[in-house]
Amino acid sequence: MLDFSNDYVLENDVVRLTPLRLEHVEELYKLSNDPNIWTYLIEKGKDKNELFTYISEAVSNRKNKKEYPFVIYDKIKSAYAGTTRFYDYSEVLKVIKLGHTWYGKDFRGTHVNKNCKYLLLAFAFEELQVERVGFGVHKENKISIAAMKSIGCKQEGILRNFIPSLDGKGRTDIMLLSIIKSEWKTIVKSELLQKLKTTL
């Protein structure tokens, strides 16, 4: 069971994930004022006011048991790298979603993402005992789609006209992906662990 009042710490020798707090605004602003981060995200955080609102809403959603946001710290570079969160958790259905993930430009395409995903997936499947971890991504976000598939996600389908298009003149689709517990146990976990050995 996901206890929203518990301050979970997920870490290995490479990264540490701790609960996101308002005090992280200053450190994360060093990363977030990069427009490329926000291209495919509905929320925005390029300036400090936007980032404060972004983090405030995430913290509030944790209090309301809607989301559990983390801040990501890169132990190799001794610096904060970005944020991620769990959401849409159902103890009854044993499902959870993982997303709202972004990294500063110096951390994208590095050891950080796969290590974070390993810790989060291990926590979801082995501690929370969920049966399914879901992901959603803008259909044009090819880099994120490739990253999700590289950790073992399987494409499931499309949510048509789900969000406003990038130019604001229409609607666009969201791609759905997931990993299920049997895949985690039989292949995803071992393959991801192997990849972690080659990312540093």
pLDDT at 198: 80
Instruction: Give the Cα separation of 121 and 162 in Å (integer).
Output: 26
Whole-prediction pTM: 0.96
pLDDT at 146: 94
Domains and CATH numbers, the chain: 10-196 (3.40.630.30)
Query: Which residues does the chain have with pLDDT short of 70?
Result: 199-200
Per the document, the length of the chain is 200
Instruction: Give the Cα separation of 69 and 84 in Å (integer).
Output: 6
Q: Vertex 147, ends 108 and 82: CA angle to 5°?
A: 35
For the stretch 74-96, pLDDT in tens is: 999 999 999 999 999 999 999 99
Question: How is residue 138 written in tokens?
Answer: 């803008």
